[in-house]
A and B are shown apart, each in its own frame.
Chain A
């Protein structure tokens, strides 16, 4: 079973998103530190400070390392009657979605994705949503069209069976 990978630009997209998170959390941390008036010592301040340091170190690690690892794990497969999505970081999830269960398919693009010409496909089921990220427009359109056709043909086949 050969998984298809997202576009390599997805690594840059994930890194940019994490960079934004890093700066946002960093700015909030700085504001909290200033509000806490750090020169007055109290045990709880050390606890808060440790938490802030740990969160920001995690975000920094996430910024540098995680996008590459995430890309290694990412894979998707659109088969005749189901979609398989493999994703995760240290924990890898493998989602199996029967095509017949898909209620609607959305191809979307956020502002950061736009910078890298990427799209994502969202498959909505009655009991949840699944997303394939980091796709170039032609691939996203192809998958969207493909899924739609498969869904219609499966529905028609079921109707005929009835």
Chain B
């Protein structure tokens, strides 16, 4: 079937088997390898993407489900003001170790900060509860999200 959807702001149309997993469609058919597959069973969050502004696990979705939807992957983060600040905060705080979980972490954190501008650390941990970091670098990841929240709030204050 032809699946048409908005991907990181651009319209795409791909001929694909309707039961193709979205993570495979993104990585193999469209070459967007930022989205990672960790467990493939919905337990690690590495494949987290946004569909219509909500987090979804791309390993547990089939192509037909994103037809007509607005999809954002980690490749689209830098083009958004809050996404760019979030990525910079991960760099500044040294939150990235092996990096495999980071695309999923950042997508989950982006949605968290869009709903909660000033989350405390417990709230951040709950927002990232579906994302595993096997380097166990959680402390600096939470630091980075805290910093991103501060930076995003500061960027919105009238100059």
Query: Are A and B co-members of a single complex?
Result: no
Seen from chain B, the residues whose Cβ lies within 8 Å of a Cβ on chain A are none
